[in-house]
Structure formats: structure tokens, C-alpha cells
Amino acid sequence: MTSATTLRVLAAGDHFVLPSLIRAAIARELVCEVGELTLDWPLTPFGPVAEVAEASDAEDELIDALADTQVLVTQMGPVTERVLDACPELRLVVVCRGGPVNVNLDAAKRHDVRVCFAPGRNAAATAEFTVGLLLAALRRIPQAHDLLAGQGSWAGAAYYTYERAGLELEDLPVGLIGYGAVGGRVARVLGAFGARVMVYDPYVHGEIHGLRVASLDELLRRSRVITLHARLTPETRGLIGARELALLPPGAVVVNAARGPLLDEEALCDALEAGHLSAAALDTYAQEPLPSDSRLPGLADRVVLTPHLGGASRAVAEKAAHIAAEEVARWTRGEPLAHCLT
């Protein structure tokens, strides 16, 4: 902790959580010196950097900008052991995302650096996007648009035939796998549409919006649509594979706007090609960007694919900057931090 009048903060933002947003949010909380650094995400995809995951490849730039700085606020800055070694005055790192996967937490603890993050910043945006994906997949909206706008063809009218018409949400059995901040919002929205919402989440107790189902297998057998909302852990990696997809009724739809590795993409493609699944909508993938040999684009008549845009709303960037600024202010005042891991 240091006094606000001598505190130096680096706002290492990017083209989404702008440095200017971070600076403005901090200015509303306290008076301090704020430097700015703009990383190139999302124009350049994130990836592993040294020993951390999902970061911008900018160790050198970050080290230079952190000279004589006590606080770092960033979304994609690579807070590696090398960066921490080179920045002995750094005392606080606030990550503007739901988890600090771009920070070496063990090294931060050794360097006596506190690490905070911004949970819940994108829950509403991701929930809305999930419902949008679901509606697009059920009613073949992107495919009809591509035919009419891209090719000038009225052939999409074939989706009005009984054989090719989509499903509607009212009375549709929809299974949610995971019931956290995003899943709970999706459940409430789908309930408003009149869907029959079912939930499987062994870690959530208490009241939920929908019918709690005792096992994943039971949920799969009873759902015409499933949406994934689980956190990615060693236990949930590959949670939905060939065996699980086979339990879904014929013509089912799969939606994933959570984490790509929850779902076996090869098994999904097999089920789509075989006709067991009628559609899928994905915003996250096992490998991002989507590799050139992926089978998914070849199934464009049955899939909706977006490049990890679930959290891409202006409100998310503004919320993230606000949450981060509040943490900086708490630390400056010597108060307990709200979302701290080290």
C-alpha cells in the first residue's frame, strides 16, 4: 500500500478495455498518476506467453511501462515471472476479467504482489449472447441471411417447409449444464420465453429457476437443446463427448458460449454429419482462433459460429474498468480487497 498522492498506476488496456476507460474509472475513485499502454488484443489473438495462458505477447513492453510503478491494471498483460522479476516496485495487479489466467500466481506470491480480478463483468452480456446463439440455431437465421443477402437467393424459404422448419422455445425442454452467473440469467430468460428449463449443477444448492435434474445423463436424455455454462476444470474438460451426445434425442441442438474444451468438437461434428444433431451454435473452441483444418466451417448449413464474442459489449469493458478501479481504491486505503487471490 502507498499513499494516493505518490501512487503510480499503469493502465495496460487494449482495444476493448481501453486504457482511457481504466484511467477515467480510477480518476473517479482517487487521485494518482496513471500511465497508459495499449496492447493489441483482440486485433492480435491472445495465447500462451512464457508460463501464463491467454495473454498478449508483450512482456518487453509491459516491463518498460511498469518502471517505478506500484499498480498494474490490465486485461491481457502477461504478468510472468520475468515481468515480476523486472518490476520490484509492483505491489498490486488487477486483472479486468473473470479470472487472472494471464498472471503467474505463484510468482506473484513470492514477490509479495496482490492479484485481483473482475468476476461477473460479462455475465449479462454472455447470457444475452447465448440466447441469441440459441435462437439463431433453432430458426436457421444465419443460413437464411447468407442465402438472401450473400447470394440474392430466396431459397431460404425452404426453411418454411415442415421438414426443415426450426423449433420454437415455448414448451421446449432446454437443459443447462452449469448454473453460475451466466447460467442463472439464461435460465430466467428462457423461462420468460416459456421454455421448460432443466438444470444440472452438482455444486449449486438452493433455489434455481427451472427443474433441478439429478444427473447429467438424465438431463441429456430429456433435453431437446443443451447449453453449456460450466467452468473449465480438469473435471469438466471434455464433459460432453460422443457418449453424452448420443444420449440426446435425435434432432437435438447444442450451444456452447462457455469454454471450448468442455465439448469434444470432433464428436460434435460426427453427430452433426450423422444427422443425430440438427444444429449447433458455438462461440468458444478447443483451439482459438479456429484452426484451418477444423471441420466446423464445412458444416455451415448446420452450425452457427462466432469468434468468442459472448462478452463483447461496451458495458462489459466499462464494468471491468469500474471493478478494477474500486479494487485499486480499496488497496490504497488499506481496506480488504473484494476479489483477491494472493
Q: Name the average pLDDT for the chain.
A: 96
Phi, psi of 80 (to 5 degrees): -90, 175
User: Is 288 annotated in the active site?
Assistant: yes
How many Å separate Cα 24 from the centre of its chain?
A: 25
Residue 21's SS3 state is helix
pLDDT at 71 > cutoff 50: yes
Q: Where are the alpha helices (DSSP H) in the chain?
A: 19-27, 59-65, 81-86, 105-110, 123-139, 141-145, 151, 181-193, 216-222, 242-247, 265-273, 314-333
What is the average per-residue pLDDT within 193-204? 97
Catalytic residue selected from 140, 308, 322, 330: 308
Identify the pLDDT of residue 1: 52
Identify the pLDDT of residue 240: 98
C-alpha to C-alpha distance for 327 and 333, rounded to whole angstroms: 10
User: Is 145 annotated in the active site?
Assistant: no
pTM equals 0.92
- pLDDT over 90, % of the chain: 97
Q: Cell numbers for 65, please give them.
A: 511501462
Catalytic residue selected from 33, 81, 218, 288: 288
What is the average per-residue pLDDT within 128-145? 97
Which of the four pLDDT bands, split at 50, 70 and 90, describes residue 5? low
Identify the pLDDT of residue 327: 97
Q: Cell numbers for 235, please give them.
A: 473435471
290-315 pLDDT per residue, tens: 999 999 999 999 999 999 999 999 99
Residues 236, 204: contact at Cβ < 8 Å?
no
What is the average per-residue pLDDT within 270-288? 97
Half-sphere exposure of 133 (CA within 13 A, CB side): 31
Catalytic residue selected from 114, 185, 259, 339: 259
Domains of the chain: 8-121+313-333 (3.40.50.720), 123-305 (3.40.50.720)
What is the average per-residue pLDDT within 312-341? 97
User: Is 308 annotated in the active site?
Assistant: yes
Q: Cell numbers for 220, please give them.
A: 441429456
